[in-house]
Homo-oligomer: A and B are copies of this chain.
Amino acid sequence: MAERTYHHGNLRAALIDAGLQLLEEGGIEAVGIRSAARVTGVSHAAPARYFPTATSFLAAVAAVGYERLAAALAEAVNSAEDALSAFRAAGLAYVAFARREPNTFRALTHPSLADKSQHPDLLSASNRAFDVLRAAVVRAQADGHVVSAAPAALALTAWSTVHGISALIVDDQLAAKGYADDPDDLAEEVLATLFLGLRPTEG
């Protein structure tokens, strides 16, 4: 901060902060190399040393978004009482995160970041968030609340479900598609259906 000289100190982190701020304020379209440089008070080409391309900058910002998501999921899981309610809390936390930070949520699945193999940090952050859900599945299996199939497949199913409903809620598609009630109710209903489908056959 304050009265910086020629060398910034930790420009990389400062740029990512600026990117997060731009993201929150103006959506993903507002996140750019030059605007981030401007916010940071640095020349327009300075970011190039840390982010060779505009997409790589976006990826770095989105990676922080995934970290936040992972943290939100982990907190929900940890503050739950039993394995099933932990799994359930993770699902609700996913939807809650999307609603709380819609612009961040949308950034996570931005088309230009579709190929995550180009952005290792983004990929690992994404997987870290997923692993929280996967761990919750494994524990719910151990407690007999979830059918004992491959955890990866079950976690992918759960991820799909909560991601899909989050996308619909965040983009405000409910009313247009004939659902007039509280989005929270829908999230609960969707999760209930999911859990019913994941239940072990005849306990």
Chain A interface, >50% SS class: helix
Q: Give CA–CA (A114, B152) in the complex, Å.
A: 30
Number of copies: 2
Q: Contact: B106 with A111, CB < 8 Å?
A: yes
Does A155 interact with chain B (Cβ within 8 Å)? yes
Q: Contact: B29 with A111, CB < 8 Å?
A: yes
Given contacts A111-B106, A161-B164, A167-B109, contact A177 B197 (CB under 8 A): no
CB < 8 Å: which of B116, B134, B150, B186 contacts A156?
B186
Instruction: Give the residues in chain B near A114, CB-CB below 8 Å.
Output: 106, 170-171
Q: Contact: A152 with B165, CB < 8 Å?
A: no
Chain A residues with CB under 8 Å of chain B are: 27-29, 106-107, 109-112, 114-117, 123, 126-127, 130, 134, 149-157, 159-165, 167-168, 170-174, 176-179, 181, 186, 189-190, 192-199
Q: Give CA–CA (A170, B171) in the complex, Å.
A: 20
Q: Contact: A155 with B177, CB < 8 Å?
A: yes
Q: Contact: B164 with A152, CB < 8 Å?
A: no
CB < 8 Å: which of B27, B159, B179, B193 contacts A168?
B159
Most chain B CB within a 10 A radius of its CB, from A155, A177, A186, A195: A177
Contacts A/B (CB < 8 Å), 30 sampled: A27-B111, A29-B111, A29-B112, A106-B114, A109-B109, A110-B111, A114-B170, A115-B172, A123-B176, A127-B176, A134-B178, A152-B178, A153-B181, A153-B189, A154-B193, A155-B178, A156-B165, A156-B177, A156-B179, A156-B190, A157-B190, A157-B193, A159-B168, A160-B160, A160-B163, A162-B164, A163-B167, A194-B197, A197-B197, A197-B198
